[in-house]
Amino acid sequence: MDEKTPTQQVTEWLDALGTALSNRDTGAAAELFGEDCYWRDLVSFTWNIYTAEGHDSLREMIEQAVIPSGPSGWQIEGEANLSNGVTEGFLRFETRVARGCGHVRLIKGRAWTLLTTMTELKGHEERKGPTREKGVEYGVHPGRKTWLEQRQKEDAELGVTVQPYVVIIGGGQGGIALGARLRQLNVPTIIIEKNERAGDSWRKRYKSLYLHDPVWYDHLPYIPFPEHWPVFCSKDKIADWLEMYTKVMELNYWGSTECKRAQYDETNREWIVEVVRDGEPLTLRPRHLVLATGSLGMPDMPSVTGMETFAGDLHHSSMHPGPDGYAGKRAVVIGSNTSAHDICAALWEEGADVTMVQRSSTLVARTDTLMDLTFRGLYSEAALQAGITTDRADLLFVSLPYKTLPAIQKPIYDEMQRRDAEFYARLEKAGFQLDFGEDGTGLLLKGLRRGGGFYIDVGASELIADGRIKLKSRTGVERIRERSIVLEDGSELPADLIVFATGYLPMNSWVTRLISKEVADKVGKCWGLGSGTRYDPGPWEGELRNMWKPTHQEALWFQGGNLHLARHFSLFVALQLKARMESIPTPVYGIGPVHHTS
């Protein structure tokens, strides 16, 4: 055994798996996994996003989902490698109806993690490269329509005389990425966006907003950002890109259109979606409805005694225009996560007198340290030079089941605290309440569990540490007066501007608003893993709730996340929808009960 190369080991393991599954021998297949084992499947066998954890769960999934799908053609992709006792490699495989790729990690010859993801449906492959369309028919064809005439016809008919198969509510990166995938799969789709133009949801944010994630992490499918793009991108530059992308990907993007109400017609198995487009009411009847209304729900604007009496400007961070005109003014920002920090820093740069009110502790990570410790291996120039393309990085990213993440993430944040100890000491000295997640597992897990609670520092922390941004910590808002804000600790801050950087309601608040409370409760909470930490109550679910996979409401889907998640998971949502459109059987395995309604 020891003399085998990593590639031989993975090849033999895959051969053995293939043989066991062909023989329908669940026991033999399960024997290939170690005691501590995971098989994560994105759509290919389960028509779900599901992780089997441990042998019992694994056997059940193999028997009920994997073997019935007719898996075959297990092959290694490229070379495997060995590091820290783990042999790992990429792989590909097929089922009766689809092709997939994945990744496996072996410890002492048995699998610790196996990832399988669907890449395409047989007979419905995207046409590209060698299979691209010719674009124009040779010969003469009376009545032929040009590309423009076809586009104009579709634009005139879809949603009017021809119903789309899918309606996506929300035209940010989530809706756009999914719309692009569906267009390439020939699934008639309309994207509805209340803003006028694609990109407006970025344009309307505070002006100093730059992406806190680096460019390599943020690509959309099909058209990567050019090589000369900066590492961190302005919101307006991303906005322009989204607008261009929507146009050249030929999406049916309805700007200035608001969804008023959606109702599922059980009899006809279609949605009745009432929209107002450019002021005109219109009813759409798609077979599937996708909510891509943002990673989070609607702005969470607390009700504070006396806020209606405030004489200055008062708004939620989502409505904050930026610092212009606030020079010399007294600003109070409630909150201490990303938006709060960005807004405080921009106001300070403009010359305002700024106070941040920190109600609870925040995870702060310095951008350079974060890039080095977390992004560098997967999304960076260094990764690209090591052959880790965006596609490979995306696979590696999802190859570690959520259950394994805490043990992997905690050492990263231990190292971060060591490396930036002096920085953190100064922040704490200024009164800032720091955390690194309840269990010290850091930013990624905090994001997955509760969708926020952090700031990637690009400068504001320094202003807080040295007192240029004043800090009120361990307190909250008691009441608002005409020209001041009173905190729970009894202090009163004179104010011309109050910004509530208080976050967003849960994502399924949109379900309540657009569909019904009943459907919202049936579907339950979105996001979160059931980690049993704050804002993420148990029981453990193993995967993010409701995202990118079938829900308890037939034909209702959730698409969301940052640019990375929008890019990668839009593939799985698109394949699930395409399979349904083509009447390919999609037996869903492992859909869990709803534990929390919001």
**Which residues in 419-478 contact its own copies (CB under 8 A)?**
458-460, 462-463, 468
| Shortest Å, Cβ 87 to its own copies | 30
CB-CB contact of 105 with 80 (8 Å): no
Q: Which of 402, 108, 170 is nearest to 294 (CA)?
A: 170
What's 146's DSSP letter? P
**Which residues in 343-382 contact its own copies (CB under 8 A)?**
345, 348-351, 367-368, 381
Q: Which is nearer to its own copies, 66 or 215 (CB)?
A: 215
Please provide residue 450's backbone torsions phi and psi, each rounded to the nearest 5 degrees: -135, 5
Q: How many CB atoms lie within 10 A of CB 408?
A: 13
- Counting contacts by CB under 8 A, is residue 200 touching its own copies? no
| Shortest Å, Cβ 144 to its own copies | 6
| Shortest Å, Cβ 462 to its own copies | 7
Q: Which of 319, 190, 257, 294 is nearest to 510 (CA)?
A: 294
| Shortest Å, Cβ 182 to its own copies | 13
Q: Which of 2, 35, 138, 422 binds its own copies (CB under 8 A)?
A: 138
Q: Which is nearer to its own copies, 233 or 520 (CB)?
A: 233
| Shortest Å, Cβ 99 to its own copies | 17
SS3 182: helix
**Which residues in 203-242 contact its own copies (CB under 8 A)?**
207-208, 210, 215, 222-223, 226-234, 236-237, 240-241
Interface stretch with its own copies, choices 12-20, 103-111, 145-153, 445-453 (CB under 8 A) = 145-153
3-state SS string for 382-405: HHHHCCCCHHHHHHHHHCCCHHHH
Q: Which is nearer to its own copies, 4 or 127 (CB)?
A: 127
CB-CB contact of 100 with 117 (8 Å): yes
**Which residues in 105-134 contact its own copies (CB under 8 A)?**
126-130, 132-134
Residues ≥6 apart with Cβ < 8 Å to 548: 49, 557, 558, 559, 569, 572, 573
Q: Which of 160, 244, 386, 425 binds its own copies (CB under 8 A)?
A: 244
CB-CB contact of 575 with 186 (8 Å): no
Q: Which is nearer to its own copies, 32 or 238 (CB)?
A: 238
Q: Which is nearer to its own copies, 136 or 407 (CB)?
A: 136
- Counting contacts by CB under 8 A, is residue 388 touching its own copies? no
- Counting contacts by CB under 8 A, is residue 527 touching its own copies? no
Interface stretch with its own copies, choices 202-210, 328-336, 430-438, 511-519 (CB under 8 A) = 202-210
| Shortest Å, Cβ 554 to its own copies | 31
CB-CB contact of 182 with 190 (8 Å): no
Mode of pairing for the β-strands spanning 72-83 and 86-94: antiparallel
Q: Which is nearer to its own copies, 121 or 273 (CB)?
A: 121
Contacts 24+ apart (CB under 8 A), 585-589: 585/97, 586/47, 587/47, 587/65, 587/68, 588/46, 588/47, 588/48, 588/550, 589/45, 589/46, 589/47, 589/48, 589/50, 589/61, 589/64, 589/65
| Shortest Å, Cβ 119 to its own copies | 15
- The single-letter code of the amino acid at 478 is E
Sole residue written with tokens 């966006």? 193
Mode of pairing for the β-strands spanning 492-494 and 484-487: antiparallel
Query: What is the rounded CA–CA span in Å between residue 146 and residue 18?
Result: 48
Count of positions (residues) in the chain = 598
- Counting contacts by CB under 8 A, is residue 389 touching its own copies? no
| Shortest Å, Cβ 354 to its own copies | 11
Query: What is the rounded CA–CA span in Å between residue 26 and residue 55?
Result: 11
Q: Which is nearer to its own copies, 333 or 526 (CB)?
A: 333
CB-CB contact of 405 with 546 (8 Å): no
- Counting contacts by CB under 8 A, is residue 321 touching its own copies? no
**Which residues in 301-320 contact its own copies (CB under 8 A)?**
none
Q: Which is nearer to its own copies, 136 or 408 (CB)?
A: 136
- Counting contacts by CB under 8 A, is residue 387 touching its own copies? no
Q: Which is nearer to its own copies, 132 or 418 (CB)?
A: 132
Q: Which of 3, 141, 280, 593 binds its own copies (CB under 8 A)?
A: 141
Q: Which of 24, 96, 122, 144 binds its own copies (CB under 8 A)?
A: 144
- Counting contacts by CB under 8 A, is residue 147 touching its own copies? yes
Alpha helices in 101-172 (DSSP H): 147-157
Q: What is the CA radius of gyration of the chain?
A: 25
- Counting contacts by CB under 8 A, is residue 510 touching its own copies? no
| Shortest Å, Cβ 557 to its own copies | 24
Q: Which is nearer to its own copies, 217 or 504 (CB)?
A: 217
In the complex, the residues that contact its own copies under the rule CB under 8 A are 126-130, 132-136, 138-144, 146-149, 151, 184, 207-208, 210, 215, 222-223, 226-234, 236-237, 240-241, 244, 247-249, 345, 348-351, 367-368, 381, 384-385, 458-460, 462-463, 468
